[in-house]
Amino acid sequence: MTIKKVILILTLAISILEIAGCYTTKSATGSAIKIGNHIPFITNVQSGKIIKDRYIASSSLNISSKSSFRVTITDFDLDVKKLYMRCFYPRGSEKPYLEFGPFDLPPQEKKRTCLYLNEPIEISGPPRDWLVEVQVEDEKNNLSNTYRLHVIINQW
């Protein structure tokens, strides 16, 4: 049996156990976490401008103009409730320049869904390259992964 076959068999076994909810792993603190806990996971975030009440995807936003974000998440429990955003300037800064949220999110209907902010936001600050971090939280207060997005802020 080749190494590729062994890896394939182990991957399949772990996947089957995970689907059945029987597989556990250790958290950073060393305590066991059941994978069936279904912590939400952000797979994509896209910035956009609001022009005439329409969302237009864009990697550059204008200072003091209406902006929004589309967040794609996967959550098997269908219980995501809040969204948090932190904007860092300059991009390598450790302290957020702006923070938004928590935003209440509409009820999920599917395991994988795209969510938009209910209300547009306005970014105020110096023009240049910014780093935006997005996280969501579910009903059990589980925080998702932190999704980082590079956004260019322009003077309008």
Q: How far apart are CA 77 and CA 42, in angstroms?
A: 14
pTM of the predicted protein model: 0.72
Place domain 38-154 in its CATH homologous superfamily: Coagulation Factor XIII, subunit A, domain 1 (2.70.50.30)
The pLDDT profile of the chain, 156 residues, written as one tens digit per residue, is 687 777 777 776 676 655 554 444 444 444 444 455 689 999 999 999 988 888 889 988 988 888 999 999 999 989 999 999 999 998 889 999 999 989 999 888 899 999 888 788 888 889 999 999 999 999 999 999 999 999 999 986
Q: How far apart are CA 63 and CA 65, in angstroms?
A: 6
Among candidates 115, 105, 118, 39, which has minimal Cα distance to 75?
Answer: 39
